[in-house]
Structure 1
Amino acid sequence: MKKVYCIGELLIDFVAEKQGSDLSKANEFTKKAGGAPANVACAISKLGGNGVFIGCVGKDPFGKFLLETLKREGVDISLAQLSDTFTTLAFVSIAEDGERDFVFSRGADKELKYNPALRKNLSGNILHLGAATALLGGPLEKTYAKYLFDGLTKEMFICFDPNFRSDLWKDDEETFVKKCMPFVEKSHLCKFSLEEAQLLSGKEDLNEACDKLHKVGTKIIAVTLGKDGTLLSMNGTKKTIPSVPVSPIDTTGAGDAFIGCLLYQISDLGSFDPVLEDFELLEKMVAKANKAGAITTTNYGAIVALPTKEQLEK
């Protein structure tokens, strides 16, 4: 089974549960481990795969808590880094339908430095670039670009999830789109939300959005549509793969569970060629990944809600 290197932020989610979607009215918060790339690494490891996390946390109690959480879930944290900068925090409120509102206090995640010694271990493995904070500047953004280059030169399977957060971009969406394009161009697989697909393509119609993003360069597009399933697009074929019905209480981490489950399945293939050529095979994988995402919405928090292999197969 191939390794999946997940690069980006690991942070604390302070979650205001059952207090509505307006953070200004929240009084009580629960500490949870979070961060999209870390969630994906955990999703892979909880299913029995080889999830590797590459990111930076602070030398503080929160950083210690986060690394211990990943280690407990079976994630390889040997490449994680520590910084004197305080660990990144996110404050999250959750409405009754499970939708969220975010406010970030950015810290140590931006300090991640490139590790050239890692190059020798990358060949033939999977690279997941799914950080919400990676394109905001600092050493992390430069590191991100260098690992993309490594992924290309080492013939890795490259996955990109832009994880757009409006709070982080503050009326600068044009810059976000511009910075995403090299990753859309070079990745084999891109996972988007409906909002992201429309934003990056400039198209309201989802079919037109996929066509435009394929022209940029990516071969496979998966657009997650919540309870409506996932639109899968590859080699001129498009199909919406239905999800499974659940009663969501927290959508945090659902997209990460989806892409983690999909990458776990890809990592178990002997070659990447089938997933790039066989739409029916990919369709089956997406259906299973939809199930992982749905299960995750039935509990609070991302990592604790990610399904195990046994839960997924029930």
Structure 2
Amino acid sequence: MKVVCIGEMLIDFVCTDTNAGLVNGVNYVKKSGGAPANVAACIGKLGADVSLVAAVGNDPYGQYLTEEIKAYHVNTDFVSTLPMSTTFAFVSLADNGEREFAFNRGADEQLCLSDAAIEQLTDDAIVHLGSATALLGGELSASYLRLATAAKRKGNIICFDPNFRIGLWQNREEEFKAKCEHYFALADIVKVSDDELVLLSNETDMQKGCQYFHDLGVKIVLVTLGPKGCLISHLGQQTLVPAYEITAIDTTGAGDSFIGAVLFKMSKTAAGDHFYREQIADFVAFAGKVSGLVCATIGAMAALPTLAEVEAGTFIVKK
């Protein structure tokens, strides 16, 4: 089964002055980025059929991004080149790999899909909605919703990652939550961090927080817990899959590679009568390996491993 990822593809300018922050940072490295693009690149490099739906500018950065994503075996038939600048994100890193973001939006918000394109994209697909910018308005927001609605109507598997960014939603958290709730009602799978779980469900208890999503119709909730691993909630039954021992250098793209690896496994496996209940823990353990490898190197895409590299990787499971 193919996977379709929709949303921003952008340039990450990563500050190499650790702990300087965006205010004091001086030195930056250009990297390919954008959450949906990272997810698509992960899936493509692991070896599954994946398409990216995005828009870049008619500038050297847009050309660079399109050529770069093709190198990860991603179908770019639905990547538009528009007469404006490509979107940028500036990222600073701390010693523990955590990040600070600032966005300069450009072409990504003008993505516009035709009805014919949506019908083609939702032909037997897993649709991943993981854009950090798609709920902000503009043509992208409209196309995002139309694709999600068509995917639900046609019985596609839908995965939603809210990808909350404080730099985009400062003092507008309630608006963000309201917009997300519509997508939770469409989704089969939701991936959130532990902080996002509290923000979106208004629950500090994880079991109650997961139940909020299940009550809206979500079958699988994946709560990433950083070094503690991932909590799986499958229709209310919870399992904790521990993380792998790593030295985090850059967590940019860690969540994207994690959900990309899960979707890679799902694309190769029939959902069955119980919607991956027997397989999901193994999928998450595999995704933990992929995410661990990504965190150990700077750059969300540059760090992505092949399937052979994941299978050959040596990790120590945290107890």
Check if 1:66 corresponds to 2:65: yes
Counterpart residue number, 2:255 = 255
Counterpart residue number, 2:304 = 306
Distance 1:170 1:262 in 2: 30
Q: How does 1:73-88 map to 2 (within 5 A)?
A: 73-88=72-87
Q: How does 1:211-222 map to 2 (within 5 A)?
A: 211-222=211-222
Letter in 1 for 2:296: T
Distance 1:14 1:120 in 2: 34
Check if 1:285 corresponds to 2:257: no
Check if 1:30 corresponds to 2:41: no
SS of residue paired to 1:287: helix
Provide closer, same or farther for how the CA distance between residues 21 and 252 of structure 1 changes in structure 2, counting only shifts above 3 A. farther
Distance 1:79 1:158 in 2: 19
Conserved? CA contact 1:91–1:104, under 8 Å:
yes
Counterpart residue number, 2:148 = 148
Distance 2:20 2:39 in 1: 25
Provide closer, same or farther for how the CA distance between residues 148 and 21 of structure 1 changes in structure 2, counting only shifts above 3 A. farther
Conserved? CA contact 1:36–1:253, under 8 Å:
yes
Letter in 1 for 2:278: E
Provide closer, same or farther for how the CA distance between residues 108 and 133 of structure 1 changes in structure 2, counting only shifts above 3 A. same
1:154 to partner: Cα distance = 1.6
Deviations 1:54-104 (A, max 9, x none): 000000000000000001111100111111121100000001110000011
* Matched positions, count: 311
Distance 1:135 1:90 in 2: 17
SS of residue paired to 1:140: helix
SS of residue paired to 1:186: coil
Distance 2:191 2:69 in 1: 23
**Structure 1 unaligned runs (5+)?**
none
Letter in 1 for 2:249: I
Letter in 1 for 2:212: K
What is the TM-score when the length of structure 2 is the normalising length? Answer: 0.95
Distance 2:54 2:114 in 1: 11
Conserved? CA contact 1:123–1:155, under 8 Å:
no
Conserved? CA contact 2:188–2:218, under 8 Å:
yes
Q: Among all aligned residue pairs of Structure 1 and Structure 2, give the percentage whose two residues are the same amino acid.
A: 41
1:235 to partner: Cα distance = 2.0
Conserved? CA contact 2:4–2:121, under 8 Å:
no
Distance 1:59 1:123 in 2: 29
Check if 1:184 corresponds to 2:189: no
SS of residue paired to 1:12: strand
SS of residue paired to 1:162: coil
1:21 to partner: Cα distance = 5.2
Conserved? CA contact 2:224–2:230, under 8 Å:
yes
Letter in 1 for 2:177: V
**Structure 2 unaligned runs (5+)?**
313-319
